[in-house]
Every structure is written in structure tokens, then in C-alpha cells.
Amino acid sequence: MLTSIIIHDLKLKSDIIYCTRIRYNLTMSVFLTDMDIAAVKKLVVSLGEPSYRAKQLLDWVYRKLAVSRDEMTDLPLSFRQKLAAAVTPHTLTPIREVKAKDGTVKVLFSLPDGKTVETALMQFSSDGNKHRYTICVSTQVGCPIGCPFCATGQQGFERNLTPGEIIDQVLYFARRLQDKSNGREGEKVDNIVFMGMGEPLANYSAVWQAIEMLNAKDGFGLSARSMTVSTAGLIPGIERLSGEKLQVGLAVSLHAPDDKLRNQLVPVNKKYPLDKLIPACRGYFAQTGRRVSFEYALFDGVNDSIPQAQALADLIRGMNCHVNLISANSTSAQTLRPSPRSRVLVFQQELKNLGINCTLRQSRGQDIDAGCGQLRSRFLTQSK
């Protein structure tokens, strides 16, 4: 089937983000996970089946985690044959995998057009022998923001992901946690963070459709409070997120307490400076009642001094928020080296002394370079 797909192409030009619409054709089936619930129902009826078959089909895809139509054994063979001619169940093909000593797994996926994205499954210990699992999901191929410390940002921007390409990252690892051969039968996805490749709020419609399907009782069924959307600070997206009926978490990549430095570390700050971003974050809490998380990666001699900790505290004082301090990943930029742990701890203590709720986020997958975009960067380099 020749299908025309519209992609919202986001570019950064003269420090202003703007959208254009491009259209390209791919020879492929329609993907089931690209459909919302209403579209699935419409598909089922169009194939001459009773509408209740839609719920059965969704149950197989999102709860029983079927990979193929052949697994959907309670659906009539005639219906499965019609489905085979109309839709393809999933969008992704795993092409490379790395696993860290701490249990973090990162997979590089090939998309239908041959482009690649990466997704990480992070394992955290809890009481007893039980583990909790968080999936870090990508939302774009590359990223338009261009942060100098981020491997994805240095790859440039290629396109947005579709809702199905976002959802299928979650379903892949959900199946993995149910796979007896991995010794993990019965384990489940506990949290989803939209913190992988790309700027989620720059692909808002696709990300939100994915969130709704991952939350829906006839979809994946994960609580909205178990999902967090990260942003470099796109204020229109934050304001739009504030008004949604599903109250997902918001994490803002801050990384600097003043505009001059943040313009260098997070270039979109030139479009959405701190005197506009921080009020938008306060507005998010006012509308949703959910505290905002601020991500702050520490770089040696760049943003890790005591005066900068004090400036950060002044910036966010009085807001219901939490600061996640991050031991930065190593980067090719010579001026952006990770802060020594001793300085990280001093910075953290200063924030605590000033009444700021903060924690030092545990780094995952350090031995496999699990930072955003690093696996894809290696793949792209080796493929040249």
C-alpha cells in the first residue's frame, strides 16, 4: 500500500523554532499503533466486523503484547486475514543492543524509512528482590535544539516520530519484561520518561496521542502519573501541557541559573529565556498541582560553583519543584567535562542549605555510554 505521511519538521533557524510541513511517501502498510482508539474502531467496522472486535484487537496489541496477527487466537481467521491486508502491527526493528552492569539495556531501532532511534530500559532496585523498570523513550530522529553536551543534539534533526514509533518503543520492552527466556516473567513497566532522543514538546501531537494510548484502559493502561515529559523549555508546549486532562509529570532541562550561560548550553533559551520560562513552570504547578522537576547537569568549572548554586536557588525559590542534579556524561566538547564528585556534593549541599529540594540522580549505564544519542552516534560513525 502506498501511504502518504505528513511529518511536522522542526528546525532551528536564527535561534527561533518554527514548523514546516513536509510530505513524503513510503511503500508500507498502515501501522496499527499509529491509530488512536477511534481509528481502530473505524478500521474494524470498515473491514465488515462488529465494533467489539476493536477492543479485542487492542487487548492483543497493548495488554497481551502480541507481535503478530497469528498470536491473536480468539479473533476469527477471516478477520486476521483482512487485518493482514490492511495494517502492520508494529513499526520498529531492533538492530543493535548493549547492556550495562547495572541492568540498563539500550536498543537501537530501525524505523520503516531506515532511520534509527534508541531507547533505554533502566532497572532500579526496591524492597527485597523486586525491581522497578523505567523506559526512556525517544520522540524524534535527532534533535533541533542543538545542546553542545548532548550526543543527539550534535546529530542534527531529521524528523519527528509518529505516535506508533513512540508507542512501539514501550511495547518492545514490555514484551521483554514478560519474556521467560530473560528470566523476567511477570515483571512490568513502572514508569515512562520522554527523555530520549529529541524534544518531546516539539512533536506535541504525536507525543500526546502516544501518552493517551499508553494511559487508556483499552490501551496500555499505565497511570498518567507514571509518565514524565522532558523539555528544553518550549513555553508554548508547557502551557499546552498544563491544560491537558491527563496530568503527566514535567521535567525541564535547566542546566544554568542565568540567561548568558543557558544561551550557550541550551540554545532555545534565546527564544524562551528564563524570565518567561520560570513563570510558565509556576503556571504548570498552579494548573495541575504537580511539582516541576528541573534537570541540572553539572560541568566542571562551567555551572558548578557555589555562587551558581545560590543563583539557582534564587531563581526557583518559592516554587513547588525538585532539582535533579546529574553527573554529566563525557562529551567531545573540551570545555564541557563532568564535574568532580566532590564539587557535585558541595553544590548539592549548598542547595539544601538554601531550602531547595534536590537529589543527585543516579547515573545509569555508564559502562555502555548510555547517555542520550550515544549508541546511535557510534552506529552512524561505524556505518560511514
Identify the active-site residue in 147, 281, 358, 372.
372
> Strand 105-110 and strand 116-125: pairing?
antiparallel
Residue located via cell numbers 537501537: 108
How far is 229 from 221, CA to CA, in rounded Å?
17
Q: 203, 160 in Cβ contact below 8 A?
A: yes
Identify the active-site residue in 49, 118, 158, 165.
118
Q: Give residues with Cβ within 8 angstroms of 130, minimum separation 6.
A: none
Q: What angle do CA 10, 13, 17 make, to 5 degrees?
A: 45
How far is 344 from 340, CA to CA, in rounded Å?
6
Q: 293, 253 in Cβ contact below 8 A?
A: no
Helix (H) or strand (E) holding 109: strand 105-110
Known catalytic residue at 97: no
Q: 133 pairs with which residues across the strands?
A: 123
Residue located via cell numbers 479473533: 75
Known catalytic residue at 321: no
How far is 40 from 131, CA to CA, in rounded Å?
34
* Cα torsion angle, 278, 281, 286, 292, sign: negative
Q: Which residues are catalytic?
A: 118, 372
